[in-house]
Amino acid sequence: MAVSSEVGTPPARASFWNDPRIRAIIFQILILGGIILFGIYIVNNTLVNMESRGISSGFDFMGRTAGFDIGMTLIPYDEASSYGRAFFVSLLNTLLVSAIGIFFATILGFIVGIARLSNNWLVSKLAEVYIEIIRNIPLLLQIFFWYFAVLRALPSPRQSFELADTFFLNLRGLFVPKPIFEAGFSAILISFLIGLVAVVFIARWAKRRREATGQQFHTVYVSIGILVGLPFLAGLVTGFPLSWDYPALKGFNFQGGMTLIPELVALTIALSVYTASFIAEVVRSGIQAVSHGQTEAAGSLGLRPGPTLRLVIIPQALRVIIPPLTNQYLNLTKNSSLAAAIAYPDLVLVFAGTALMQTGQAVEIIAITMAVYLTISLVISAIMNWYNKKMALVER
């Protein structure tokens, strides 16, 4: 009161209904309430309609026996397992192809993106042609192309390509020996972990020493030595308790060993190649966003082109690259759901496909599937945001 009397008479207070702030709040409440009511109406209506048609609902089915088989499983699974187990099997398959896809797409994307900026005319044009062709063809067609290209080019199991009677390649997949860990193998594993911890400390120590004294330390060679040497020593002591299960042609197919199915290969190639073309453009734009003066400055300090790119340009470009790169990672993960077209047993094919069909519980299963993709995407986003913050802090 004292303050306002100094300024003068307070402005006439607007009536309750004409106060813009209160109005804004009222409208927001009305709209939010409307949306919530609409949501309740839809959910309720669905439940009533499903009830009246006798369509079963609820999540009890997750514990029931699935009764179908899955072509590729990372965890033990058979026909007698539950729908919940089938869900995890298919989820792991989705995560696997996404992770491998992101890995290769990133590497290929960075190579092509940098090649696109090369002074070499041929390299630059090749990269440009790659980008323009790949990113302008629908992904589904590319998946079909790779799948049938992979299938058509490979021989039947009986005429497999083989390498030293150990590795076999045919149109059923790539068959490799499977390691079997016997008693005592944990010693090798533990020594490797000890080596890993040691390497981390050495790297930190080397960095501190370099910053303090300027002396270099051959961290890489020492690390490799420790990581290989320690487990090798442990192996010598325990007598290498590891044997291999070799694949062998029995009846129709190769039995034993590990199999890389052609569906996984085709999907990984298609996703990586496709996403890499977008990542390449992201990388190119990121690098071009760094002022050319930086390159000239590095050159005048005597840095060669390689170290200039590695130490000066890319660290600055990364800040521009990471946000759109996150989008590409999310796209790749979501695009992996196209696996259903070529029989790769991912979440959409197995869970939102077979399981949905056999239980008929479309609403629950699609809701779970959507929630899973949402969660995966949010996790990737969170990781990339964290990395982005970390990179942004480097700038002083």
Partner 1 sequence: MQYKMLVAAAALAVGFALPASSATIDDVKAKGHVQCGVSQGLPGFSNPDQAGNWTGIDVDVCRAVAAAVFGDANKVKFTPLSAKERFTALQSGEVDVLSRNTTWTLTRDTALGLDFVGVNFYDGQGFMIRKDMGIDSATKLDGASVCVNIGTTTELNMADYFRANNMKYEPVVFEKADEVVAAYDAGRCDVYTTDRSGLAAQRVKLKDPSAHFVLPETISKEPLGPVVRHGDNQWGDVVRWSLITMIEAEEMGLNSGNVDDMRKTATNPAVKRVLGTEGDMGKVLGLGNDWSYNIIKQVGNYGEVYAKHVGPNTPIGLARGPNELWTNGGLMYPMPVR
User: Binding to partner 1 by residue 55, rule CB under 8 A?
Assistant: yes
Each as own residue / partner, the long-range contacts of residues 57-61 (CB below 8 Å, 24 or more positions apart, any chain) are: 57/361, 57/363, 57/364, 58/361, 58/364, 59/364, 61/355, 61/359, 61/361, 61/364
Binders of partner 1 in range 27-46 (CB under 8 A): 39, 41-43, 45-46
Q: Which residue has the tokens 């020996």?
A: 177
User: Binding to partner 1 by residue 76, rule CB under 8 A?
Assistant: no
Question: Which stretch in 196-204, 219-227, 291-299, 347-355 sits in contact with partner 1 by CB under 8 A?
Answer: 347-355
Q: Do the beta carbons of residue 284 and residue 117 sit within 8 Å?
A: yes
Distance CA 229, CA 120 (A): 42
Least distance (Å) between residue 59 CB and partner 1: 10
Question: Which stretch in 3-11, 90-98, 280-288, 334-342 sits in contact with partner 1 by CB under 8 A?
Answer: 334-342
Q: Token digits for 167?
A: 């590795």
User: Binding to partner 1 by residue 343, rule CB under 8 A?
Assistant: yes
Q: Which is nearer to partner 1, 79 or 132 (CB)?
A: 79
Give the total residue count for the chain.
396
Distance CA 337, CA 347 (A): 7
Burial of 11 (0-12, 13-18, 19+ CB in 10 A): exposed
Q: Which is nearer to partner 1, 46 or 291 (CB)?
A: 46
Q: Which of 19, 69, 182, 296 binds partner 1 (CB under 8 A)?
A: 69
Least distance (Å) between residue 347 CB and partner 1: 13
Q: Token digits for 332?
A: 């790749």
Q: By rule CB under 8 A, what string of x and - marks binding of each residue 187-226 to partner 1?
A: ----------------------------------------
Helical pair 83-116 and 362-394, crossing angle rounded to 10 deg: 40
Number of other CB atoms surrounding residue 176 within 10 Å: 18
User: Binding to partner 1 by residue 172, rule CB under 8 A?
Assistant: yes
Q: Which residue has the tokens 């002022």?
A: 291
Least distance (Å) between residue 179 CB and partner 1: 21
Q: Which of 63, 67, 138, 305 binds partner 1 (CB under 8 A)?
A: 67
Q: Which of 250, 292, 304, 396 binds partner 1 (CB under 8 A)?
A: 250
Q: Which is nearer to partner 1, 193 or 357 (CB)?
A: 357
Least distance (Å) between residue 25 CB and partner 1: 23
Helical pair 121-134 and 262-288, crossing angle rounded to 10 deg: 120
Q: Token digits for 109?
A: 């994307």
- Residues found near partner 1 in the complex (CB under 8 A): 39, 41-43, 45-46, 49-50, 52-56, 67-71, 78-80, 148, 151-152, 156, 171-172, 250-253, 255, 262-263, 340-343, 345, 349-350, 353-354, 356-360, 362-364, 366-368, 370-371, 374-375
